[in-house]
Structure 1
């Protein structure tokens, strides 16, 4: 797999009211993203609610998307789990289901030393028949991937890329500049997971973006990517600011009765439902659904952004 570039959305997982994977809605969502001009798809990430899905549901998602895409775009699949043996079990399943690359976090639950994180990725890469990308998301796994460790593993050929959802732009810059300068690092993709600083990340030299909001507005992020690459900074800034305003929908949930995940993922799915792309805005248990007033607020965000 060559260097990944452009917009690679972390695909939402539409669910039925009974909390099973809604295959028909998932296919419509994939078509919506492909028609929007995205350059890859990332399933079973945080926005996909991978942590809430059973192994059977995880495999169904990968099989459905990979078969539908049919090689037109690379399909990355998350293999997120607590320990190396569990991750390797997921690797075998998602590769058999058609994934072109796998995305793994650092181990979690038990406190992990950087040497153990390095061993984790080396063992995954040794067993995986497809490229391995690291997923830096300390808010979820409580470990920040050190930039020097990522670069060392990239130079070894262990890692084919990094999805950075750490929010640490300085560390992200260290990886971008380090990868560019290192003589042994080739075909290494550095991707930002932030919806809010895609223009800044691309200006630093990032290869692309994995924004959850691209489910709702793939055309907007593809336009932003194009404007950044052509050097149209004024229009790129305006488009990024429009998307930042749209991202405000993730805060519609009442914090006295739900967590941030319920609010954000509920808003994304509600937006997709209001746009007629998925049949049901249900999120996986035990997340709390949005109420009528919160749904109305999501609709106002869409209307303001010209999407409804």
Structure 2
């Protein structure tokens, strides 16, 4: 699945000041990241504040992105949850004709065992009509999908093609790369350790910073994939401060502040999230203005 090698970006859902979905801003963001050179787009992930969107708003976001993309880049749709039956039902009833894969998060809050995680994704894999990218993010789910469980799923189900690994643990990432099939993609879910993961054999990233600075970040990943280490690390260190800043007060508050500076959208987020404070907003503005 070479279409998922490189940089994917987890698209935000821009809101107007009245908290309604800003369709025009979403179209601008899709154009911005596409022109910036990213390889694929991820729709309705955590960064999209999907937990705060109504069913109707989710459909609006999907249709807007599909139309704006117009077949240019592969699309990945976030389809996950902690109610396995509900996830399976969506997989069996949704039209996936515009999408190339799903991104499915390990069940959150319930804290299943490794066997429970395996059985959940077994049901997902058997129900999904398109390839499955697993998503491990222990900081949000309260459980860690271990490399042995991932390898078991990758070996048992041919449509489980990749994992977005966001444990923030380079050693665990290396164990994943070592223990999974050769054609299985280990994709970074942590912007700061993306380059080390790529150089260790990872396939790229599903990124947040790559949405705000798509040209620089996607080029860094391509340089890493081509083993141009010094050039890649020069870009990494150029962006490192911004990576820290966009997550300092929560995601997507930081990246939405960058989009405000770039003139692409408002910086509005929905409760329980709040926008960044004045100090961070100023620092993000200085960084963004200096990079332009």
TM-score, with structure 2 as normaliser: 0.92
**Structure 1 segment 40-189 matched on structure 2, within 5 A:** 40-92=40-92, 95-96=95-96, 98-156=98-156, 157-179=158-180, 182=181, 186=183, 188-189=184-185
Distance 1:97 1:26, change over 3 A: farther
Between the aligned partners of 1:191 and 1:197, the Cα distance in structure 2 is 11
Tell me the CA shift for residue 99 of structure 1.
2.6
Aligned to 2:282: 296
Partner deviation per Cα, 1:216-260 (whole Å, 9 max, x = no partner): 1000111102222333221211110111122232366xxxxxxx4
SS at match of 1:231: coil
Distance 1:99 1:139, change over 3 A: same
Tell me the CA shift for residue 203 of structure 1.
0.7
**Structure 1 segment 19-30 matched on structure 2, within 5 A:** 19-30=19-30
Tell me the CA shift for residue 282 of structure 1.
0.3
Tell me the CA shift for residue 283 of structure 1.
0.7
The question of whether the paired residues in 1 share the 8 Å contact of 2:96 and 2:130 is answered with no
Between the aligned partners of 1:301 and 1:90, the Cα distance in structure 2 is 41
Distance 1:111 1:225, change over 3 A: closer
Between the aligned partners of 2:176 and 2:26, the Cα distance in structure 1 is 34
Distance 1:249 1:161, change over 3 A: same
The question of whether the paired residues in 2 share the 8 Å contact of 1:195 and 1:247 is answered with yes
Tell me the CA shift for residue 154 of structure 1.
0.6
Tell me the CA shift for residue 97 of structure 1.
7.2
The question of whether the paired residues in 2 share the 8 Å contact of 1:195 and 1:213 is answered with yes
- Of 183, 205, 210 in structure 2, the residue corresponding to residue 209 of structure 1 is 205
Between the aligned partners of 2:64 and 2:97, the Cα distance in structure 1 is 9
After the TM superposition, list the runs of 4 or more consecutive aligned residues in structure 1 that deviate by more than 6 angstroms: none
- Of 275, 284, 287 in structure 1, the residue corresponding to residue 262 of structure 2 is 275
Between the aligned partners of 1:222 and 1:78, the Cα distance in structure 2 is 21
TM-score, with structure 1 as normaliser: 0.88
Aligned to 2:240: 244
Partner deviation per Cα, 1:19-67 (whole Å, 9 max, x = no partner): 2221111111000011011110111112222222222222222222123
Unaligned runs of 5+ residues in structure 1 are 253-259
- Of 278, 285, 299 in structure 1, the residue corresponding to residue 271 of structure 2 is 285
The question of whether the paired residues in 1 share the 8 Å contact of 2:209 and 2:246 is answered with no
Higher deviation after alignment, 285-294 or 15-24: 285-294
